[in-house]
Amino acid sequence: MTNQPPTPRRRAMSDENVILSEASAASVVGESFAALRTSSSGVGCRTKDPSPAASLRSGHRLRVTAAIDQIRRRLARRAKAHLTEPGRIPSAVLVVLFEKDGHTHILFTRRTQVVEYHKGQICFPGGGCEEGETRAMTALRESFEEIGLRAEDVELLGELDDIKTQTSHFIVSPFVGRIGYPYEFRPSAIEIDEILELPLDALRDPANWKVEVQDMEDGTKGEVHSVVVSGHVVWGATAKILKQLVDLLGEGPGVAKDGARETTNEHE
């Protein structure tokens, strides 16, 4: 039996530690896109000279919440877990963070019914690697193709662990980036039905999460997490990636409370 979307209900999120490998992952905090050519994120994809740069354009002003700042610092000091498996398709997604109304938000997309994979599901922008790409390049290219987000308007903060999808046979490399807001998104009419801007505080609330035990494709049983915010159900691979980010913020003392300070990339 394949994974089924859960029905919305409220239940506390179970404790689940993210297991990290000892493999070294390049820190991408404040670095240009060109530096990612030598990152281990190129696993499964060949590299080439990237263009344009993925760091924020000089002088681009944006609001940085305490949560975004904490995410950046914690991503910089963690080790990323890489996955490889014959027959699986290398791919990447971009977890887009921004400040809106004084609080951190995350961008999601709802896919149309005409795309090949994950019809109608809530996802992060992303897709399969093309020849000559690192996975970071894939995440940025797909974000431009799907929602019109330009690479030069994204500051990559770091990487989360690779995951496997259960039905579409992808290995997904998640990248976390921030942008200035408001932003003039231009969603693809073919791929994207709507863009969702959901508050991180609600996505972190354990009362909005639930976990179900379902049959996995290898015949075993596994936990499937989901979260419901404002009637929107985030589940499957997207929820698995999101939970990594939520767990990252929940590690250790001093979890950031949202509040914003204005900064420029020139002074960071």
State yes or no: pLDDT of 230 exceeds 80: yes
pLDDT-derived band at 23 (thresholds 50, 70, 90) equals: very low
CATH of domain 33-201+236-254: 3.90.79.10
Percent of the chain with pLDDT over 70: 68
CB 217 within 8 A of CB 87: no
pLDDT in tens, 5-22: 554 333 332 222 222 222
Q: What is the mean pLDDT of the segment spanning 132-150?
A: 97
Q: What average pLDDT is seen over the chain? A: 76
In our burial notation (b when 16+ CB lie closer than 10 A, e otherwise), range 178-217 reads: bbbbebebebbeebbbebeebbbebbbbeebbbbeeeebe
Query: Global pTM?
Result: 0.74
Q: What is the mean pLDDT of the segment spanning 171-198?
A: 97
Q: What is the mean pLDDT of the segment spanning 129-142?
A: 97
State yes or no: pLDDT of 268 exceeds 50: no
pLDDT of residue 57: 43
State yes or no: pLDDT of 37 exceeds 60: no
pLDDT of residue 42: 45
State yes or no: pLDDT of 150 exceeds 60: yes
pLDDT of residue 15: 28
